[in-house]
Structure 1
Amino acid sequence: MRKLALTAGFFSAAIFVSQYLLPPDIGLYSGLALLLLFIALLFIKRLKVLRYISLGLALGLIWNFIYISIALKPARELDGLTKTVTAAVLAPPEDTDYGKSVLIRTEGVKARLYIYNEDYTELHEGDEISIRLRFVLTSKKTGTEYYNSIGIPLFAYAEGRPELTGSLPFKLRFIPARAGRKLGDKITEVFSAYSAPFIKALITGDRAELRDNNFIYSMMNVTGIIHCVSVSGMHVAFLAGLLYFLLGKGRLSSVICVPVILLFMAMTGFSPSVVRAGIMQLAVCAANLTRREYDGRTALFFSLALLLAVNPFSAQNAGLQLSFAATLGILLFNERLSQYLFGIFKKPLSVKLLGKALRWLLSALSVSLSAMVFTIPLTAIIFERVSVIAQLTNLLTLWALSLCFILGLIAALLGFIFMPAAVILDYPVEMLVKFIYAVISVLGRLPFASVYTDSIYIRFWLVFIYASFSAALFIRDLRHRLACFLTASLASLLIALSFSLIEGNRDAFVFTALNVGQGQCIIITARDYTAVIDCGGSLSQNAGDLAADYLSSLGRTRVDNLMLTHYHQDHSNGAEELFKRLEIEALTAPLIEGEGEEIFDLARAEGAEITLLTDEILNLNVGGISFVLIPPLDTVGENEIGMSVLCSFNEFDCLVTGDMNSQTELRLLERLRLPDIELMVAGHHGSKYSSSEDLLNALKPEAAIISVGKNSYGHPSAEVLDRLADNGVTVYRTDERGNIRISYNGEEY
C-alpha cells in the first residue's frame, strides 16, 4: 500500500507542478527523462523508494501533456467559431441576469450555454437540440482555469432560438441528479421557509435560496463555516456516520454504504471534494469487507491521483485543494493532538455525563485544529483573507450542523413515506438553525472577525505561526511542543491585530476605493470617523459585505455617514447588506422621485438619521473632514440626476461625481467654485462621456481612480484614458490593482 501512496502522491505532485509552473512541453521532456530514470532504477534493488517517486512524477508530467494536447483539442478547434450544432442538454437550465444558462455537450465537448430570455424555449435534461452557437474558451474569457477545473472548457452563446430535435436514448445517467432535485423539493415541502434554504444547502449543496439571504451567507463566510453548505468530505462523513450508527460497524453496513455513497456522489454532481471523500469512504468499506487494514494516507493520495487523472485541471479547483489540505492535516496531526488533549483533561473525562460531552468537544477541537494546519495558508492565498473567529465558530456550531444534517435527511426521506411524521422534525431543526444563525451573527460582527492578508502584520503573523509550528516539531515533549506553539500563535495574533488597528488609525486621512467589480464603493476614514460613498457592485460577493469586511478588518464596526450619489444598482445594491452588518448613524442621498424608498425604509428601521438633498448645497464638517454635498444639477437622464461629493482634509481635496456626464460637469463648474484637487474619481466608471476636458482643466487633478470591473460598455474608454494621460493625471484602476488605498498624513500622500 505504501508503494501506491508514493506513486499516487508524486503523480499528484507532478500534476500540480505542471498546472502552476511548467509549460506542457517542458513537462513532457522532464517526464520522459524521469521515465528513463525509473527504467534504470528497476535494475537497482536498494533504491525502491526513488523508483516509485520517479514513476509517479513521470506519469504525472506526461499525462498532463497528453490531456492538454489531446483531450482539449476539440475545444480549441471550436474556439472562435460560430456554427449550427446538435447538442445534448445535460442539466436543467439556471437563471442568469439576462436569460438562462444550460450545461450541454456538443461535438464531444462540454460547454456552458447562455441564452437570452427572448430566445429561450423550455429545455430539460436529456433533450437534443439544434442551435447556432458562438464558442469561446472559458479560460480565454475568464482569465482563469476555474471552468476547466470542473470539466467545462467552452462557453457557448446562442445566436437564435434552440430547436428541439429529440431526446437522448439512454437517460439513466440523469436519475441521480433528478433524485437530488426531488430531495431538495421535499426539503422545501417539509421544512419552514426559515430553515429550508439552509437544510437544502447543507444536504444537497444547492445554495441558490440560501444566497438570497445575503446577511446570513456573508456571516458564514466571515466566520469560516461556509464550507458546511458546500457539499464536501464533511457531508460524506456525516452520511457514513449515520449509516454506521443505525446499522452498526459490521460488513452489512459497508455493503449498504457503498451504493449510498456512490448515489450521493452522483446526486451532488461529482464535485471534486465529494469524489475525494467518497473514494476514501469506499476504501474504508473495502477494508472492512476484506478484513484488511485501512490506510488513510494511501486512500487520500490514491483518491487525489484518480481525480487528477480524470481531469488534471482539477488541481486548480479551490474546493479540492482545501478538502485535500484539511484531510491531510487531520491524518497527520489529529491522533496525537487528541491524545494530548485527553491527557490534559483526564480527570473530567472520567465523569460519566460530563466525560462524554467533554470527549466530543475535545475531539471536535482536535479535528478542527488539525484541519486548519494546511487550510489557513491556502485560504489566505486563495481568498486573501483569514477568518480569525473560525475556530470558535466551529466549536460552537459543529454539533448543531451534524444534527441538522442527520435530522434534515431523515425528515426529507420520511417525507416521501409519511409527511405528518416528517413535519414533526421541523421544529427541532428550526431551533438548531436559529442557534447557528445566532452564533454566526454575533461572532461575525466582532471587530477583526475576518482579516485581509494585504496587511503586512497579518502576513507576518501567518509566517510566524508556521515558523513556530516548524520549530515546535523539534521539541520532543508533545505537551511542551503544543504549549509553546499555541502560546506563540495567540501572542503573535494579538500583536498583529494591535498593529493593524494602529495602522488603520495612524494616517490622518485615508481614501479607499474598494474593488467591487463594475460599481463603486468608497470608504473615507479620519481617526475614528468613517464615511462610505456609494455601495454597489457586480461581483458575486455583495458590495455591502466587501465594505463591512474591510472595515471589520480595521477594527471598525460603525459608519458615521453613508452617502449615495444615486440609486443605480452598481452604486447602491450593497446598502441593505451594509445596514445589516454595521451600525450606520446617518444616510445622506439625493431626493429623486420614485427612487430609494427601500433604502430609506431600512435606514428608518435601523434608526439612522436621513438627509435628502433637493436644491441646496449641504456642508458638513465632521472628524476634521469638510464635505460639500452638491444636489442633482439636472432633472433628466438616468445618469445626470445624482449627488456629487467634494471632500477636503487640510490641503487634500478629492471629488466624486457618480455617473455625471460632461454636460452636467459644466453645470457643476458653474454652480460651485471648485479648488485644484489632488484626487478625483473618474465619472461613470471611465465613460467617454464623463471626466471632460473642461472638468480636468478646472480641477487639475494629480491622480484619478477608476472604479470599474468586467463590463460590456467599454469602460474605461480609451478617450478618457488619453484625456487623463494628456493632463498628467496618474490613473489607478480597481480592476487592475484591487482595493486602492490613498493615505494622507497632513503633509503628503
Structure 2
Amino acid sequence: MPPLLLLSVTFALGILAAYISRAGSGWVLAAFITAIIMLATAAFFFFQGKRGSFVWLLSSFFCLGFTWMGIDKLPFPPSLEPFLGHYVQVEGVVEGLPTLYPNRMVLVLDTPVVTLEEDRWQGQGKLQVVYYLQKEEAAGKINEADAQLRASLLPGKRVSVDGLIALPPKAFSPGEFDYRAYLERQNIFAQLTAKKITPLGAGERGLSALFALLRLRIENAIHHSLPAEGALFLEGILLGFKGGMTPEDRSIYQRTGVMHLFTVSGLHLGFVFIALLAAANLLKLKRFPTFILVTAGLWGYAGLIDFNPPVTRSAVMATVGLAAYLWQQRPNALNSLALAAFVLLLIDPSVLFEPGFQLSFAATWGIIYLAVPLGRYVSFPLGLREAVTVPLAAQLAILPLAAFYFQQAAAMGMIANILVVPLAGLVVYLGLAGMVLALAVPGILNPFFLTAGAFFYPIRWLLELLSALPGAAFLVPPPPLWLCLLYYISMLVLGWVLREGFTINFPHFRYQSAAARRLFPALLLVISCTAMLFTGTVKKCQGELEVTFINVGQGDAILVQTPKGRTMLIDAGGSPLYSSSTFDPGSQLVVPALAKRGIRKLDLLVNSHPHEDHLGGIPAVLDYVKVERFVAPPVDHPTPLVLKVQQQLKDKKIKASNLTAGAIKLDPSVEISVLWPVRPLLSGSSSDANNNSLVLYLRYGKITFLFTGDLEREALSLLASLNQEGKYPGGIRATVLKVPHHGSASGICQEFAAAVRPQFAVISTGKNSFGHPDKRTIRFWQEQGAKVLRTDKAGDITFTTDGVTLSLQN
C-alpha cells in the first residue's frame, strides 16, 4: 500500500478520534507534544537505519490529526447566549458568495460583532444569515433589488445586518440530519434571520471576490439566455447549484443515480481537463506552457465552484497526474488521491464528516482500485468496457455510504449513467464555451448556453422514463458501522483477487495463483455483505404494536406497525401551498423514516384529509414505497395536489376508496375503527375539510390510540355526542391521543376531552405562522391529566406496547 495513503488515512483517524472524544485543550496539547516526540523518534530510527521508523511516523500523524482537529474546533461561546432569541444588529465580513434558494438567500459572516441595545458581543466563530426574498417573482427568478443586493455581497465585504438571532435547528430523531452539528463543524454558532442587510464600505478585493464576480457574470448570462428550468439545469451541471431544483426533478435524479451530475466533481473536471489539453495541442504548446494552461484552467474552474471538496480533490489529482505525464514520471493514482485528501483535511479537518467528501473519495478509490481489474473479466470493446466498469466500480464503492445517507439504491443507475453521461459531457463542453463567451462579451444572448440548456428536455425525458420503470430504485435501511467495515474489507479482498489472480493452463494440469483460488470466497463475501445492506440487519420484535409520530414539521405523519408485521401510514406531512420552499417532508423525512425501519411496502396508506400539510408528502411515498391500499374521506377538494395523487394511484393500480364510519381490517390482533366522518358530511363549518377528517381508533389489548386529523370544535362536539348516545359501544377513551389540528385552540372541546381522558396527548407541529400549538391547548390537556408531547420539541415520538404495558421513546 502506498506510504502516502497510509499517512493520510492515519491523519484522518486522528481527526475522527478528536471529533468523537470532543477533546479539550489539555488533550490537544498532550497530543501535540506526543506527535513531536514521535516525529523525533521516527527521524532517529530512520537516520540510524533501524526498523520501525515508519510505525513511529504513522503514530505521529495520528496525533497530528488529533491536534489539528482540536485546534480547528471552536467551542460554543457561552457569552453569546444572552443575545439568542432577540432582535440584534450584527456587523461582519462576508465569507463567500451568498447561496441563492427559491425563497431565500444564505450567507456566512466572519468575525461578527453582535449588538443588543447597550450590550455587545465579539469573539471567534461565524454566524449564518438567512434573508428571505420577495415572493412576487416567478420561480427561478430573483427580483432586481435582491439581485443587486446579492451582487454587492462579495467575499470580504463588510456588512451590517438587523434580525433575529437564534440557534440553528438541531436533529431530534435518530438518523435525522443534524443541521446544527453541521454548522458547528464549520464554527458557525448561530443563525440570523435578517430583516435588513446594509453593505458597509468597499471591502477587500481578493481572489475570492474575483471568482465571485466571474460566477455572477456567468449566472446572469445563463438566466439571460434560457428560461427558468433550463437555466437551473445548466447552473446545476456547470456550477453545482442545486438550490432551485424542484422536488420532482430531485426525485428523478436520485432514483436514476445521476445526482452526482449536479455536484461538480471529477467527471466535470475530466471534461475540462480534456478540453484544455485539446486547446494546448491546437496551440502546439510545449511541455511547461501546457502545464501552466491546463492547471490554471482547472484551478480557475475550481475557484468558480468555491473549491468544494470533490472539485478540489479532482484538481489536485489532475495536477499531480499531468505533471507526472509531462515530465515522464510514473504516476500513482492512489498516492494522488491520498495527497488530495491530505490537502483538504489540512484546509478544513471537519470536511472529513461531510457526505460529499466521503462519497467523492470512495467513488474515486473504487474506480482506481476496481475498474481496471473488473475490465479483465468484461469482454466488451474498448470504450464500451470502460463505460460499464467505471460506473460499476464507483457504484460498488459508494454503496454503503449511499445506503447510510440516502437510504436508497438506484437499480437503474448504471444504465442511466451510460446513457446520460455522454450527453452531460456535451452540455459541459458547450457550457465551457458559453462561459468563455459570457466573460468576454457579457449581456448578449449566448448561443452556447442556449444550446446546452436545450439538452435539459431530452435528458429529463429519458431519466423520467427510466425512473418510472418498476424497481428503478428501492429503499434500503442505513447499515450499522460493522457492516460498512465488513463490506469495504470484502471490496479490498475482491480487488486483490481480481488484480493478483491468474491462471496458467499446462498440457496436463492448470496452475492457479493463491489469489485466483480465493475468487469464489471473495465473491461470496461481497454478495453476502451486499445482501445484508439491501435487506437490513435489525428486525422489529414480533408481538408488539409500534406507533411512531414522525417529526415532519407543521403537519402529520403517523406510522403504525402491527404485531404481525403489517404497516399503516396516516398522512405524510407537506409544505403549505403558499410556500415557495422546495423542502419536501415526504421524500426528505417520511421516506427515510420508512427506510430506516426496513419498510418497503405499506399495507394501508391513509390520508386524513386533503390539506397540503397532510397530503403533500404522499406523492413521494407513492414513488418510493409499494402501497397495497389507499383510503381517504369522501371530501371533494380538487386541488392540483389531490389530482396528482389520484393520477399516481391510477397509474400504479393501487386500490383506493373513500371511508366513513366503519372498521378497517389490517391485523386480526389489532382493532381499527373509523369513528368519523359520518354521513351526511358536516357542511357550513369553519373548515369542512378539517371537520370531515378521518378519525381512527386503534385498540391493541388494553392500550388504545385515537387519531383525530384536523378536527375542530364543531366536529369534536358531535363526536362526543355520538359517543354519549352509544354509537361507539367500547367508548372512545384513549391511552394516547393525537391532539386535533396541531394544537390549535379550535380543537379545545370539554365534552370530547371528558370522553377521551388520555394519558398522553401528542401534538404534531413545527415552525408555522398560525401560532400552533396554542398555549391554551397545551394548558387544557395538562389540566385533563395528560402528559403533553410535541414533535417540534421531542422529534419522533414512538410508543411500543404488548397490549398490556406501554413504553415511550423520544
TM-score of Structure 1 vs Structure 2, range by shorter chain: 0.7 to 0.9
Q: 1:238 aligns with which of 243, 259, 271?
A: 271
1:602 and 2:630 correspond: no
1:238 alignment partner, SS class: helix
Mapped to 1, the partners of 2:224 and 2:601 lie a distance apart of 38
Mapped to 2, the partners of 1:139 and 1:626 lie a distance apart of 37
Mapped to 1, the partners of 2:694 and 2:232 lie a distance apart of 40
Q: CA RMSD in A?
A: 4.9
Sequence identity percentage: 18
Given that 1:632 and 1:640 are in contact with CA atoms closer than 8 Å, whether structure 2 keeps it comes out as no
1:204 and 2:239 correspond: yes
Where does residue 57 of structure 1 map in the other structure? 62
Q: 1:356 aligns with which of 382, 385, 403?
A: 382
Where does residue 315 of structure 1 map in the other structure? 352
Deviation at 1:173, TM superposition (A): 3.1
1:43 alignment partner, SS class: helix
Q: 2:409 aligns with which of 380, 387, 392?
A: 387
Alpha-carbon displacement from aligned partner over 1:67-101 (angstroms, at most 9, x marks no partner): 336xx79x776565476454444556556798654
1:654 alignment partner, SS class: strand
Given that 1:400 and 1:432 are in contact with CA atoms closer than 8 Å, whether structure 2 keeps it comes out as no
Call closer, same or farther: CA 1:296–1:493 in 2, change over 3 Å. Answer: closer
Given that 2:536 and 2:598 are in contact with CA atoms closer than 8 Å, whether structure 1 keeps it comes out as no
Q: 1:677 aligns with which of 729, 734, 737?
A: 734
TM-score (normalizing by structure 1): 0.78
User: 2:19 corresponds to which letter in structure 1?
Assistant: Q
Alpha-carbon displacement from aligned partner over 1:128-176 (angstroms, at most 9, x marks no partner): 4334466556598967431244564543344x64444433252653232
User: 2:40 corresponds to which letter in structure 1?
Assistant: I
Mapped to 1, the partners of 2:524 and 2:449 lie a distance apart of 48
Mapped to 2, the partners of 1:11 and 1:266 lie a distance apart of 26
Deviation at 1:271, TM superposition (A): 1.7
Mapped to 1, the partners of 2:551 and 2:355 lie a distance apart of 21
Mapped to 2, the partners of 1:562 and 1:411 lie a distance apart of 52
Decide which moves more: 306-315 or 484-493.
484-493
Where does residue 352 of structure 1 map in the other structure? none
Mapped to 2, the partners of 1:143 and 1:27 lie a distance apart of 26
Call closer, same or farther: CA 1:528–1:398 in 2, change over 3 Å. Answer: farther
Where does residue 452 of structure 1 map in the other structure? 477
Alpha-carbon displacement from aligned partner over 1:326-355 (angstroms, at most 9, x marks no partner): 333444x22xx523x33334xx44xxxxx1
Decide which moves more: 359-368 or 119-128.
119-128
Where does residue 439 of structure 1 map in the other structure? 466
Call closer, same or farther: CA 1:505–1:396 in 2, change over 3 Å. Answer: farther
Mapped to 2, the partners of 1:426 and 1:114 lie a distance apart of 30
1:168 alignment partner, SS class: coil
User: 1:570 corresponds to which letter in structure 2?
Assistant: D
Deviation at 1:473, TM superposition (A): 7.9
Call closer, same or farther: CA 1:473–1:304 in 2, change over 3 Å. Answer: closer
1:542 and 2:578 correspond: no
* More helix per residue: 1
Mapped to 2, the partners of 1:494 and 1:3 lie a distance apart of 34
Deviation at 1:560, TM superposition (A): 5.8
1:564 alignment partner, SS class: coil
Call closer, same or farther: CA 1:420–1:263 in 2, change over 3 Å. Answer: closer
Where does residue 609 of structure 2 map in the other structure? 565
Where does residue 501 of structure 2 map in the other structure? none
1:519 and 2:563 correspond: no
Mapped to 1, the partners of 2:600 and 2:424 lie a distance apart of 33
Mapped to 1, the partners of 2:456 and 2:717 lie a distance apart of 60
2:44 alignment partner, SS class: coil
1:452 alignment partner, SS class: coil
Given that 1:533 and 1:565 are in contact with CA atoms closer than 8 Å, whether structure 2 keeps it comes out as no
Call closer, same or farther: CA 1:469–1:165 in 2, change over 3 Å. Answer: closer
1:130 and 2:160 correspond: yes
Mapped to 1, the partners of 2:648 and 2:241 lie a distance apart of 31
1:39 and 2:40 correspond: yes
Deviation at 1:563, TM superposition (A): 1.7
2:400 alignment partner, SS class: helix
Call closer, same or farther: CA 1:478–1:294 in 2, change over 3 Å. Answer: same
Where does residue 338 of structure 1 map in the other structure? 372
Q: 2:251 aligns with which of 204, 218, 233?
A: 218
TM-score (normalizing by structure 2): 0.73
Where does residue 112 of structure 1 map in the other structure? 128
2:382 alignment partner, SS class: helix
Q: How many matched pairs?
A: 716
Mapped to 1, the partners of 2:167 and 2:160 lie a distance apart of 21
Given that 2:388 and 2:414 are in contact with CA atoms closer than 8 Å, whether structure 1 keeps it comes out as no
Mapped to 1, the partners of 2:73 and 2:386 lie a distance apart of 47
Deviation at 1:189, TM superposition (A): 5.4
User: 1:403 corresponds to which letter in structure 2?
Assistant: G
Mapped to 1, the partners of 2:565 and 2:68 lie a distance apart of 57
Deviation at 1:700, TM superposition (A): 4.6
The residue correspondences of 1:140-289 to structure 2 (distance < 5 A) are: 144-150=180-186, 152-158=188-194, 161-168=196-203, 170=205, 173-188=208-223, 195-209=230-244, 211-212=245-246, 214-244=247-277, 247=280, 251=287, 252-289=289-326
Given that 1:19 and 1:316 are in contact with CA atoms closer than 8 Å, whether structure 2 keeps it comes out as no
Where does residue 657 of structure 1 map in the other structure? 708
Given that 2:94 and 2:110 are in contact with CA atoms closer than 8 Å, whether structure 1 keeps it comes out as yes
Where does residue 508 of structure 2 map in the other structure? none
User: 1:338 corresponds to which letter in structure 2?
Assistant: V
Call closer, same or farther: CA 1:201–1:289 in 2, change over 3 Å. Answer: same
Deviation at 1:433, TM superposition (A): 3.9
Call closer, same or farther: CA 1:3–1:76 in 2, change over 3 Å. Answer: farther
User: 2:160 corresponds to which letter in structure 1?
Assistant: S
Mapped to 2, the partners of 1:51 and 1:97 lie a distance apart of 52
Call closer, same or farther: CA 1:700–1:117 in 2, change over 3 Å. Answer: same
Given that 1:536 and 1:571 are in contact with CA atoms closer than 8 Å, whether structure 2 keeps it comes out as yes
Call closer, same or farther: CA 1:735–1:305 in 2, change over 3 Å. Answer: farther
Mapped to 2, the partners of 1:404 and 1:425 lie a distance apart of 8
Call closer, same or farther: CA 1:629–1:423 in 2, change over 3 Å. Answer: same
Given that 1:687 and 1:720 are in contact with CA atoms closer than 8 Å, whether structure 2 keeps it comes out as no
Deviation at 1:428, TM superposition (A): 5.7
The residue correspondences of 1:353-502 to structure 2 (distance < 5 A) are: 355-365=381-391, 367-369=393-395, 372-373=396-397, 375-383=398-406, 385-387=407-409, 389=411, 392=414, 396-397=418-419, 399-400=421-422, 402-410=424-432, 412-413=434-435, 416=438, 419-420=446-447, 423=450, 430-442=457-469, 446=471, 449-453=474-478, 465=487, 477-479=514-516, 481-490=518-527
Deviation at 1:206, TM superposition (A): 1.0
Structure 2 gap ranges (5+): 113-123, 136-144, 172-177, 498-512, 576-580
2:30 alignment partner, SS class: helix
Where does residue 29 of structure 1 map in the other structure? 30
Structure 1 gap ranges (5+): 350-354
Given that 2:586 and 2:619 are in contact with CA atoms closer than 8 Å, whether structure 1 keeps it comes out as yes
2:292 alignment partner, SS class: helix
Decide which moves more: 617-626 or 172-181.
617-626
Decide which moves more: 175-184 or 411-420.
411-420
Call closer, same or farther: CA 1:381–1:109 in 2, change over 3 Å. Answer: same
